[in-house]
Amino acid sequence: MNMKKVKFFALMFLAGATLFTSCKKDEETVAAPTISVTNNKTAYSVTATADTTIIFNVTVAAEGEIDLFTIKKTVGSTTTSYGSPTGFSGKTSYTYNFEQIFTATDTYPISFAFKVTDKEGQDASITVTVSKITGSSGNPIYTFTPTPLGAQNASEGSFFASVAGTGTVYSQSQAAANAANIYITYGVIGTTPNILSLPERANNGFTAVTGGPTVYYKASSITTTQFDAMTDDLGFSNITASTTPKIAVTAGNVYEFVNGTKKGLIKVTAITAGTSGNMTMVVKVQQ
């Protein structure tokens, strides 16, 4: 074999090796892991007087498979490790619900650092901070635990009013004379329990009661624990008017309402199904 052919095959071999090495490197490139917490929210605040439960929904992803996930809590200059929750190793994605209760006596701010490391040694981290609202207090509120509100065919009254600090449940025959003060009515539309305003009650086939305000409702992000701890309207600051004069409800949830300039919260504690059933609730409303 002459020298030209030797050189030609040598060059071809080097080119092939280079191409193979290049392809191999491309094939072995693994993206770095990612981490996020509850819609990327990294700052929270709690009130000075109420215990608050926050659930951090931590989502991690790693193309190169998760090797380690850690949580560290920092208060002042002290950092505490929560170790490594199990169930992550070998997965490419995972969501961990990390629940913490914050009290008025805790030292703030409190930070939590979440970190994921993949099997390639690459990592990603995110830190959330919880602060305490201080130096302010809310205005007084009324808290009512009225008798159950009955649906349209029940023996109980369907109409709730707040008058001079006394939460009153009215029957159909009493409602018209007290319509201006009625915030909440209860009824079953189809098979679905609902709270609804007086005008909306007429729109949905119930016996009409006129003269009352249109009250707007929506589901609340306030937990039942936070609701129970409220002694003033400081926690009402995020309640905004919706455009919904009725809303389907389920037991164990909190709902917001706005009646003109008044804001309030409804915690539904129990529901007995059907048009002859009823709803038990606790109501907190601005004075």
pLDDT, one tens digit per residue, over 8-47 is: 444 454 555 554 444 444 456 889 999 998 766 666 666 5
% of residues, the chain, pLDDT over 90: 49
**Domain termination site, one of 132, 163, 191:** 132
Q: For 49, how many CA atoms within 13 A lie in the half-sphere containing its CB? A: 13
Shared-domain flag, residues 153 and 275: yes
Answer whether residue 274 shows pLDDT above 60: yes
pLDDT the model gives residue 23: 47
Q: How many domains does the chain have?
A: 2
Tell me what the mean pLDDT of segment 226-250 comes to: 88
Shared-domain flag, residues 127 and 147: no
Inside any domain, residue 117? yes
What are the b/e assignments for 250-276, b being 16+ CB within 10 Å? eeebbbbbbbeebbbbbbbeebeeeee
Shared-domain flag, residues 182 and 272: yes
pLDDT the model gives residue 204: 92
- H or E element: which one contains 8? helix 3-28
Shared-domain flag, residues 91 and 70: yes
Shared-domain flag, residues 166 and 266: yes
Of 27-36, 75-84, 180-189, 201-210, the range with the highest mean pLDDT is: 180-189
Q: Which domain holds residue 150?
A: 141-286
**Domain termination site, one of 105, 132, 159:** 132
Nearest partner of 278 among 243, 241, 251, 240, judged by Cα: 251
Stretch among 6-10, 46-50, 60-64, 77-81 having the lowest mean pLDDT: 6-10
For residue 89, give the CATH number of its domain.
2.60.40.3880
Shared-domain flag, residues 110 and 149: no
Tell me what the mean pLDDT of segment 246-254 comes to: 96
Shared-domain flag, residues 171 and 249: yes
Q: What is the spatial distance between Cα 36 and Cα 93, in angstroms, rounded to a whole number?
A: 12
CB of 33 closer than 8 Å to CB of 61: yes
pLDDT the model gives residue 275: 96
Inside any domain, residue 167? yes
Tell me what the mean pLDDT of segment 124-153 comes to: 85
Shared-domain flag, residues 184 and 209: yes
**Domain termination site, one of 132, 158, 188:** 132
pLDDT the model gives residue 232: 87
Alpha-carbon separation of residue 3 from 6, 7, 8, 10 (angstroms)? 5, 6, 9, 10
